[in-house]
Structure 1
Amino acid sequence: MLTPESTVLKKAKSRELTHGVLQLPMMFAGLILLASVGACSKSVEKSEDVRPVRAIVVKNGTADSALELSGEVRPRIESRLGFRVGGKIVSRKVELGTVVKRGQLLMQLDPQDLALAQTQAKAALAAAESNRDLALAEMKRYQELRSKNFVAATVLDSKDVAYKSAQSSYEQALAAYKNQSNQTSYTSLESDVDGVVTSIDAEVGQVVAAGTPVVRVAQAGDMDVVVGIPENKINVIRQMTDINVSMWAQPTKVMTAKLRELSPIADPVTRTYTAKVILPADANDVRLGMTANVSFIARNPNQAIKLPMTALLQNKGSTSVWVVEQGVVKLVPVQIAGAAGEDVLIAAGVASGQTVVTAGVNFLKAGQHVTILAADAAPVNEANTSTTGVAK
């Protein structure tokens, strides 16, 4: 027979066994959770970043430096024509772009007032002529009377003075009439050269003063290309003896030109120095107002390496480039000798045959693996001087 104490002990052992069995699944779940957390905490290996870049294989070439500027074709001589008298414009005979000949009528003023003034001057001339003839007749008559001693010498002298005064009045009236006739003819504005009308600055009905420009006529013949020289290039522009000009409309046609004029003072608006380049006489296809590309070239017999501007990287106050060696880039400091158009001349730092990155230089780091784009890796003709070809 079981005692009460033994019954209590059996119940306690039964509860402990049940509690232990229930804790087994929870222990297994905890172990699985710890295993999964441990697996997640393992470091994942990062794949190496290989960046595509553009690059060129540099080679020695000519060290000629060039300065390319845009300009406009303008006439050598362009006259601003105006009336020599003031008045109201009543007619205009030309349009913008009209080809005119010497002596061709351009504009006409109202001649009414000047015609009346001319009539007045003509009448004054006729009166002066009559007074002169009368004084001459009286002087001759008194000369005859004096020869017969009928009048005193003083009377003859007074008649002689009167005649001379009348003669002077006649000459004065004649000059006034001629001047007024010229004034009347000035109401017609005529071209004094063969050329083309480049601007019309006044219209019919407008009252203009004497000398006010109303029409611009460009003289036919020699033409110039006008360019603005930056102030940092003004000291070297005279050393560039070779000048080539090409029109934007005909980029393949290159003409040899000469520097005709270089302004000693900067333009107050653009702050550039105006240079005028003479076009050759056989430039038949060039028209006024065309856009031209002017290249000032300084010849240098020495050899140098050219790189595009995009290949340069400013690093800690020095200029460097990325050189590719076995698919890895390294930063190499270079020395710049000058500029040649859109390229720069390298004096030291890189050698012929090395591969230099020309695009994406700001996104690279030393020792980084790169891949060169296929278009840049293809063989390029050595004569090519573009940024994606062989630098010369």
Structure 2
Amino acid sequence: MTNTSVLFWVGESGRLWVVAEVDEEDIPRIHPKQRVLIKADAFAGQALEGRVAEITPKGDPVNKTYRVRVDLPADTPLTIGMTTEVNIIVREESNALLAPVSAVVDGHLWTVRDGHAYRHSVKTGVVGDRMVQILSGAAESDTVILYPPATLKDGQRVRVSVP
């Protein structure tokens, strides 16, 4: 041991929180006490929950973000210094029809019926990272085409394969 060795860290034993950088365009939809889902590499496959506690009154003009503090429950498995992905729930819909974001292009969704591709105009609602809500123009039973090529034509014969 040297005179510069760290023997121990002293820290507060109180509740933990996560600080998230949120794009300024999203700030009007963020409010205290909103539910937050948190993912950490250390706990793969597990979604932890928190609540919005505070939004900083001044944003970062360079990055165009605001800091949002998310309080964690007392029994959180997270520890100081862990990296997290934070998703603030701004709206919840029950019984929503969802499609992968990669299936909706310029307000259209391609489906397959009887071996042919068909283009449908769709009205979308809530958009997430991976899924988009379909308000009209598609049905739950539809088989959708992911990443439809720009060359795809309405009625064109296609072969279905499962990714």
Contact 1:255/1:280 (8 A) holds in 2: no
Matching of residue 222 in structure 1 with residue 15 in structure 2: yes
- The share of aligned pairs that are identical, in percent, is 27
Residues 39-96 of structure 1 show CA distances to partners (whole Å, capped at 9, x for unaligned) of: xxxxxxxxxxxxxxxxxxxxxxxxxxxxxxxxxxxxxxxxxxxxxxxxxxxxx6553x
Matching of residue 304 in structure 1 with residue 92 in structure 2: no
Q: Which amino acid aligns with 2:141?
A: G
**Which of 87, 104, 117 is the aligned partner of 1:329?**
117
Q: Structure 2: how far apart are the matches of 1:361 and 1:236?
A: 34
Equivalent runs, 1:1-392 vs 2, <5 Å: 93-95=4-6, 98-100=7-9, 194-195=10-11, 219-238=12-31, 241-283=34-76, 285-297=77-89, 298-301=91-94, 303-314=95-106, 319-373=107-161, 375-376=162-163
1:260/1:291 CA distance change after superposition, 3 Å: same
Residues 138-174 of structure 1 show CA distances to partners (whole Å, capped at 9, x for unaligned) of: xxxxxxxxxxxxxxxxxxxxxxxxxxxxxxxxxxxxx
Q: Structure 2: how far apart are the matches of 1:226 and 1:360?
A: 38
Q: Which amino acid aligns with 1:278?
A: D
Contact 1:312/1:361 (8 A) holds in 2: no
Residues 348-392 of structure 1 show CA distances to partners (whole Å, capped at 9, x for unaligned) of: 11112111111234231122100011x35xxxxxxxxxxxxxxxx
Give the greater-gyration-radius structure (CA): 1
Higher relative contact order (CA 8 A, sep 6+): 1
Report SS of the residue matched to 2:159: strand
> What TM-score do the two structures reach when normalised by structure 2?
0.85
Cross-structure match for 1:201: none
Q: Structure 2: how far apart are the matches of 1:346 and 1:240?
A: 28
Contact 1:265/1:273 (8 A) holds in 2: yes
Measure how far apart 1:227 and its partner are: 0.7
Measure how far apart 1:250 and its partner are: 0.8
Contact 2:32/2:52 (8 A) holds in 1: no
Contact 2:33/2:53 (8 A) holds in 1: no
Contact 1:322/1:331 (8 A) holds in 2: yes
Residues 86-108 of structure 1 show CA distances to partners (whole Å, capped at 9, x for unaligned) of: xxxxxx6553xx524xxxxxxxx
More helix by share: 1
Contact 1:245/1:295 (8 A) holds in 2: yes
Contact 2:32/2:51 (8 A) holds in 1: no
Measure how far apart 1:240 and its partner are: 7.8
Measure how far apart 1:242 and its partner are: 1.9
Q: Provide the aligned length of Structure 1 versus Structure 2.
A: 161
Contact 2:32/2:53 (8 A) holds in 1: no
Measure how far apart 1:239 and its partner are: 8.1
Report SS of the residue matched to 2:133: strand
Q: Structure 1: how far apart are the matches of 2:5 and 2:51?
A: 34
In structure 2, the gaps of 5 or more residues are: none
Q: Which amino acid aligns with 1:313?
A: V
Measure how far apart 1:295 and its partner are: 2.3
1:348/1:239 CA distance change after superposition, 3 Å: farther
Measure how far apart 1:294 and its partner are: 1.8
